[in-house]
Structure 1
């Protein structure tokens, strides 16, 4: 079977995970949104990567006995026509059956997106609706422009904004009670101060 290019696949509808998994590797990252192949934004800013690394470190330090924590690039296969690559995912140890070499087959327990000006609308609207539809119990949107964390919890088939964390407030999660850090802790522990990254 000949591998198809992005240009060839983007003309097909719906694009399935099998088609996506067998496409030609062109060095770019893609997601499937309701059967449509979408090219992801350019490489994240350095502050994005620093924050992601610090969140990963904190979550592994406090939650690794209860959760598997993984970061992008990693396929989260929500359905045959809905494949996402969140910045970070947490899967409870009781649900490791959804993890395979290909990625995560189903909804993680918690998903984190670190937003940017390029992804703000997609993270706050499109992805929020998708993650709710497929049953992700908790969704965090981290904003590096003001160092806040929006916490959404699933109620039925929609998310409710339950808190917005900033400063020294300790982030608490019903989905992952092992979580215990503040946004200020994250920022203080970054290896490069954010004001040097302008």
Structure 2
């Protein structure tokens, strides 16, 4: 009789991305914090978009961008239903979120950012679980520009600030796609240590 652990490992399907024509195996699963951030963002957008034209997709859905690039962002928003097919999204999403991890941060900040920019992604978020920060890039005249960096401060960090400095810290921001959606920073990092 086969060892059940060997059987499970042999049948496990590794997740893959196509990056510059090279198939790259993704880690079998994200950390709990990474997963919570992805779920929090997807839930927030999913609730807001219910009954609207745009749709939120969570980690695991292929984003086909070029013949050499097929990524699986942690979350994406697609407002053109014609781009959504059975095997994923074909063409630029309107918003892409990548949650950084040590093994992917370089690609997310470098090559993937360039491809998202060249393909016309309108808004790009880089979310850092360790820093509890969100970098927002907006596409302007074909180039990503850093719009802002938002962070959720820890108590010991807040204690070092004056009351005026604490009052100046933004607690929420707006997504460029939806002017009536407030993104609360603490909601993005809910239950993330």
TM over 0.5, shorter chain: yes
Please report the RMSD computed on the Cα atoms of aligned residues, expressed in angstroms. Answer: 1.7
* 1:98 pairs with 2:100: no
Look up the SS of the partner of 1:171 in the other structure.
Answer: strand
- The separation in 2 between residues aligned to 1:171 and 1:63, in whole angstroms, is 17
Aligned to 1:5: none
In 1, Cα distance between equivalents of 2:178 and 2:67: 28
Compared CA separation, residues 181 and 96, structure 1 to 2 (3 A) = same
Partner residue in 2 for 1:172? 174
Please state which structure has a larger fraction of its residues in strand: 2
Q: Of residues 46, 54, 71 in structure 2, which corresponds to 1:67? A: 54
**1:183: which partner in 2?**
185
- The TM-score normalised by the length of structure 2 is 0.79
Structure number with larger C-alpha Rg: 2
Q: Is the 8 A contact 1:33 1:81 kept in 2?
A: yes
* TM-score, normalised by the number of residues in structure 1: 0.77
- CA offset at residue 80 of structure 1? 2.0
- Among 30, 33, 43, which residue is 1:47 paired with? 33
Aligned-partner Cα distance in 1 for 2:70–2:187:
32
Q: How many residues end up aligned between the 2 structures?
A: 165
Matches within 5 A, 1:1-198: 27-64=13-50, 65-92=52-79, 95-167=80-152, 168-187=170-189, 189-190=190-191, 194-195=192-193
Kindly indicate whether the alpha-carbon contact (under 8 Å) linking 2:40 and 2:187 is maintained by their aligned counterparts in 1: no
- Alpha-carbon offset, residue 127 of structure 1: 1.1
Q: CA deviation at 1:42?
A: 4.2
Runs of 5+ unmatched residues, structure 2 = 1-10, 153-169
